[in-house]
Amino acid sequence: MPRRDVSIAVVGSGGDGVVTLGDLVAQAAAKEGLHVIKTEAYGPQIRGGESSCAVRLAAHEIAAPADAVDVLVVFRWADFARFRGEIQVGHDALVAYEAAEERPDVAALGLRGDENIHWRPVPFAEASRAATGGTGSKNIVALGMLGELLGLPAETLRGAMERRFSKKPGLAESNGRAFEAGRELAAAAGAFAERRLSYAPSAPRLLMSGNEAVAIGALHAGCRFFAGYPITPSSEILHFLAEWMPRAGGSVLQTEDELAAIGAVIGGSFAGVKSMTATSGPGLSLMTEMLGLASMAEVPVVIVNVQRGGPSTGNPTKSEQSDLLQCLYGTHGDAPRVVLACSDVEDAFHATVDAFNISEEFQVPVLLLSDQAVGQRKETVSPGSFEHEVRERLAPTAEELEDYERYRDTASGVSPMSVPGMKKGMYQTNGLEHDTEGRPDSLYLTHETMNAKRYRKMWPIRDRYHSFRRFGPDTADVGILCWGSSMGPVQEAVAAANARGERVAAFVPRMLYPFPKRDFEAFVSGVGQLLIIELSYTAQYYKYLRTFLDLPPGRTHVLKRSGGKDLTAGEVADGIERTRALPAREAVAV
């Protein structure tokens, strides 16, 4: 029976071209107008380690990778074993594995019972050798096979290959032969047609990663200086901007460390150019020093933190939501900052523009929390969705420059900011506590007054930028509170629950600090039991919410675990079930 939603996964060694294969399927599907989410997972090895990717293709909108795949391609079982428990195959799934490999025992693979799995040995390596003389093209053989299986037009797949290998024209001919070999393998196997996707081709969609969406959002917002230090899983932001920032007339600096990266963007912004840096947990730890400087000197900067597993070096290639408290509270002193979170690829664009607008308009550092799951997954977005108002810094008027005070204690807390080149706008800024002119001043009264000035900006920021996503009915039996990349699986689980007649709602804020208390309270008051979901072993989000909200005692439950594998809609559904079934009790968190 044709399907409207199919997921495939491919597992192999680093050199097998697993990710290339996933990219080609995803690009071809996007070209056909399908909705696509593609995720990747690796071992920490640079080359030759285990590598996997999963692609979900659907004729309708999707919010998360599938919980289980319908088609699994395995080039090497030893690699599959290293993702034990992280890749699940669904009911009636097809597993096409390298025929030269012996299939291990199902239990050893960490898969559920095999009754409904169709095991199909496929001679990928042999077909590649016959077509090209080497086994290096087995991913293209698999592409040909998968194309037939899913019913993706061969012409579209060939187009995707052409674009992908445009810089290696020598590969065109051998790739073409490998691709045909794969199609023949599919034809020979016959019964594959049942995985065929049913869809009406429509306008092509843009396929991009969350990291790319951040970079594009920065350019859209007018960012013209980026400084960063390479770190997984955020480096794609540096890579994208290294190419595109100069084309937009801006500059990129690869610094010696994250201390220098945030220092440079504070310098660039002080000089009047919108500036951003991007990093992941370990880099953020280094940046917290100068996060405080940006806060104190009221210099607008945007800091993107693409979270990975922590603490320390942690799990560099895998996602987690455990930098929340670090972003909210990291750095010494009372240091105002704004913390935003993006929940999917399209949201990464909008949250980035919001981050710049807030930062520039209110002269405050803004931390944007992304994570590996959003940053490195590729997702289709509609081209028309990249529109977002851009706001600018408050510059002093000619009149204000006559008697200029950089840190004038205004009603809004925002003081007009001059930039070098303004004749009468000269001032010295400071990481030291300072008076309205920026001069060092250690008086208690000055410190109290300036703290109040800096924090006064938070409430208008909250009132203007408190955007959130809400799913499900206005009043519900179960209300879910989650943030960031947890949104996708929650959204899908909520839709499924409501389709079953259950009344489940979810609330996902883009703004985490300043805390949009009224929005949270309105949501909480409309639901019966509360379910808080997050990928943090110590339930950081739950703890944070408790500092601002009276979570109803006896009706609040927490679903939390370490990161390392993405949250699934199935887990959320289980959580909803348990929340509904459990007698009301106090929340328990580690």
Partner 1 sequence: MSATVELPTFEPADYKSDLKPVWCAGCGDFGALASLHRAMAKLQLEPWNTVVVSGIGCSSRLPGYVETFGFNGVHGRALTLASGVKIARPELNVIAVGGDGDGIAIGGNHFLHAARRNLDIAYFMMDNEIYGLTKGQAAPTTPAGDKTKSTYWGNPEPSVDPCELAISFGATWVGRGFSGDPKTLVDLMTRAMEHRGFAFLNVVSPCVTWRGDDQFRTIKAKLVALPPDHDASESFY
Q: Which of 144, 217, 268, 509 binds partner 1 (CB under 8 A)?
A: 268
Q: Which of 154, 171, 273, 328 binds partner 1 (CB under 8 A)?
A: 273
CB 392 to partner 1: min, Å: 16
Q: Is 225 one of the binding residues for partner 1 (CB under 8 A)?
A: yes
Q: Is 253 one of the binding residues for partner 1 (CB under 8 A)?
A: yes
Per-residue mark of binding to partner 1, 406-425 (x: CB under 8 A): --------------xxxxxx
Q: Which of 78, 130, 426, 584 binds partner 1 (CB under 8 A)?
A: 426
Convert 435-502 into a string of H (helix), E (strand) and C (coil): CCCCCECCCHHHHHHHHHHHHHCHHHHHHHHCCEEEECCCCEEEEEECCHHHHHHHHHHHHHHHHCCC
List 41's β-bridge partners, or say none: 52
Q: Considering only CA atoms, which of 83, 78, 39 is closest in space to residue 57? A: 39
Residues in the chain: 590
Q: Is 230 one of the binding residues for partner 1 (CB under 8 A)?
A: no
Closer residue to partner 1, CB minimum distance, 73 or 293: 293
* CA gap 98, 80 in Å, rounded: 12
List 120's β-bridge partners, or say none: 96
Q: Is 439 one of the binding residues for partner 1 (CB under 8 A)?
A: yes
At residue 327, what is the residue type?
C
Q: Is 222 one of the binding residues for partner 1 (CB under 8 A)?
A: no
Tokens 């840190």 found at: 407
Q: Which of 42, 124, 270, 513 binds partner 1 (CB under 8 A)?
A: 270
Q: Is 218 one of the binding residues for partner 1 (CB under 8 A)?
A: no
List 53's β-bridge partners, or say none: 10, 40
Q: Is 269 one of the binding residues for partner 1 (CB under 8 A)?
A: yes
Closer residue to partner 1, CB minimum distance, 8 or 417: 417
E runs forming strands in 221-346? 225-228, 251-254, 275-279, 301-307, 338-341
Q: Is 335 one of the binding residues for partner 1 (CB under 8 A)?
A: no
Q: Is 275 one of the binding residues for partner 1 (CB under 8 A)?
A: yes
3-state secondary structure of 298: coil
* Other C-beta atoms lying within 10 Å of the C-beta of residue 257: 12
Pick out residues in 454-473 that bind partner 1 (CB under 8 A): none
CB 463 to partner 1: min, Å: 31
Token reading at 192? 């594959």
End-to-end CA separation in angstroms for the chain: 46
Per-residue mark of binding to partner 1, 293-332 (x: CB under 8 A): x---x-----------------------------------
CB 267 to partner 1: min, Å: 3
Q: Is 272 one of the binding residues for partner 1 (CB under 8 A)?
A: yes
Stretch of residues binding partner 1 (CB under 8 A), selected from 141-149, 284-292, 498-506, 573-581: 284-292
* CA gap 314, 311 in Å, rounded: 5
* CA gap 420, 520 in Å, rounded: 42
User: Which stretches of the chain bind partner 1, using CB under 8 A?
Assistant: 224-225, 227, 251, 253, 255-257, 259-273, 275, 289-290, 292-293, 297, 420-432, 439-440
